[in-house]
Amino acid sequence: VQRYIVERLVHGLLVLVGVSIVTFCLVRLTGDPAVALAGPDATAADVARLHAEMGLDEPLWIQYLRYADLLVHGDFGRSQLFRQPALPLVLERLPATLELAAAALVVTLAISLPLGVLSAVRRGGWIDRVGTVFVFAAQSMPVFWSSIMLILVVALWWGLLPASGRGGPQYVVLPALALGFHSAAQQTRLLRSAMLDTLSNDYLRTARAKGLTERVVIVRHAFRNALVPLVTATGLQFALLMGGAVITETVFAWPGMGSLAVQAISNRDLPLVMAATALFAIVILFVNLLVDLSYAAIDPRVRLG
């Protein structure tokens, strides 16, 4: 297993190099960072001055190598917009992003676990129908719209929770609901079909024939086998919740990495974009590794390596 982990980490490094090249090209080819930085009152001369200052006059590949050299030494450079080292700026926002992603994951699982399992077990029953309606509704509502509706109804009309910002636990509820609904829909559908798959297996008939109660059959035999795809999806979902919170963060004025990344991108702030993407990439690689490792724990037939 240790060799497997080392191999995976080496792969991860290669992925990060790829991510850095793609990020660099995307940021540089979509616009001129000096123009963004100079502001709408700048003249061509102002932009030229910034160009020279930021080393943007050199060929693109030299600029990349120069930047890659920094990266190899663990330095993301300084944000052009904030004029501060890029990595600390991003790390500063990490706790808020993790808090929101974790809370949204709780919402996701709290809805999808019972709903997914019960819809499969009572296939065609009322719970299944409610589940289907929920899945349709939650997936077809744009996050932007459902976020604003939550603010209007819960914060403005009912006055139950604060409308935006970050503070005590009451502040995370609305954004977590907005974000969690959407992924709960996907998870419910996935879990339902995984459960239906396992429920039709021969070993379940065997288990029932042994005289086990229906509850034991479902929880110990069916659910455990449906867990493998569920864990994979949950891992990916967590990564998506972290990276996909951009809209939710903006609507709820939540000070996470997503809103920072958007600001960095619209300003073509390469060091800041790079630090944010690298951090997202590392989180996703790490979560994937954990997911793979957990297979072995869930399913004894899986051998890593």
Partner 1 sequence: LVAACGSPAPTAPPAAPTTAPPAAATTAPPATSATLARPAQSAAGAPKGQVVVAQGGQIISLDATMETGMLTFNPASHVFDTLLTREEMELKPLLASAWKFVDDRTIRLTIRDGVKFHNGDPLSVNDVKFTMDRVSADGTKSRHFTYTKIINETKVIDDHTVDIVLKQPDASFLGRLTLIPILPQKVVQQAGDEAFAERPIGSGPYKFVEWLKGQRVVVEANPDYWRGAPKIKTIVFRTIAEDNTRMAELRTGGVDIAVNMPPALRKDIESSGKVSIVPVRSLRTLFILLNSLKPPFQDVRVRKAVNHAVDVKLICETVIDGACEPVTGPFGPGVFGYNANIQPYDYNPNQAKKLLQEAGFAGAKVEFYGFAGRLLKDRELMEAIAGQLEQVGIKVNLHVMEFQGFFDNFVLKKNMDMDMGLWSNANNTADADYNLTLNVHSKQRGIYWNDPAIDAAIDQARTTTDPEQRRAQYQDLLSRFVDAAPWLFLYDQVDMYGVSKRVQSWKPRPDEWIYLYQAAVTE
Shortest reach from residue 85's CB to partner 1, in Å: 9
Shortest reach from residue 35's CB to partner 1, in Å: 4
Asked if 258 and 246 touch (Cβ cutoff 8 Å), the reply is: yes
Q: Name the 3-class secondary structure at 130.
A: helix
Q: Which amino acid is at 30?
A: T
CA dist., res. 180 & res. 106, Å (int): 8
Shortest reach from residue 145's CB to partner 1, in Å: 10
CA angle 264, 39, 30 (to 5 degrees): 50
Judged by CB under 8 A, the residue of 119, 198, 259, 277 near partner 1 is: 259
CA dist., res. 86 & res. 75, Å (int): 9
Shortest reach from residue 36's CB to partner 1, in Å: 5
CA dist., res. 273 & res. 233, Å (int): 27
Judged by CB under 8 A, which stretch of 13-21, 99-107, 156-164, 226-234 contacts partner 1?
156-164
Residue 255 contacts partner 1 per CB under 8 A? yes
Instruction: List alpha helices for the chain, DSSP H.
Output: 2-29, 33-38, 44-53, 60-72, 86-121, 126-140, 143-150, 170-199, 202-209, 214-216, 224-243, 246-251, 257-266, 270-298
In the complex with partner 1, which residue's Cβ is closer, 32 or 128?
Answer: 32
Torsion of CA 233, 237, 240, 246, to 10 degrees: 150
In the complex with partner 1, which residue's Cβ is closer, 31 or 55?
Answer: 31
CA angle 86, 89, 99 (to 5 degrees): 135
Judged by CB under 8 A, the residue of 5, 32, 229, 246 near partner 1 is: 32
In the complex with partner 1, which residue's Cβ is closer, 4 or 82?
Answer: 82
Shortest reach from residue 153's CB to partner 1, in Å: 10
Residue 202 contacts partner 1 per CB under 8 A? no
CA dist., res. 281 & res. 188, Å (int): 26
First to last CA, the chain: 7
Q: How many CB atoms lie within 10 A of CB 108?
A: 26
Judged by CB under 8 A, the residue of 63, 132, 139, 164 near partner 1 is: 164
Which has the closest alpha carbon to 255: 167, 176, 174? 167
In the complex with partner 1, which residue's Cβ is closer, 92 or 214?
Answer: 92
Residue 84 contacts partner 1 per CB under 8 A? yes
CA distances from 191 to 1, 121, 195, 208, 224 (A): 28, 11, 6, 22, 11
Judged by CB under 8 A, which stretch of 130-138, 215-223, 257-265, 290-298 contacts partner 1?
257-265
Residue 89 contacts partner 1 per CB under 8 A? yes
Judged by CB under 8 A, which stretch of 110-118, 198-206, 213-221, 263-271 contacts partner 1?
263-271
Residue 169 contacts partner 1 per CB under 8 A? no
DSSP state of 156: I
Read off the tokens for 203. 């070993």
Residue 2 contacts partner 1 per CB under 8 A? no
Residue 46 contacts partner 1 per CB under 8 A? yes
DSSP state of 123: T
Judged by CB under 8 A, which stretch of 3-11, 57-65, 101-109, 251-259 contacts partner 1?
251-259
Residue 68 contacts partner 1 per CB under 8 A? no
Q: Where do contacts with partner 1 occur on this chain (CB under 8 A)?
A: 31-32, 35-36, 39-44, 46-47, 53, 81-84, 89, 92-93, 96, 148, 151-152, 155-156, 159, 162-166, 250-253, 255-256, 259-260, 263, 266, 268
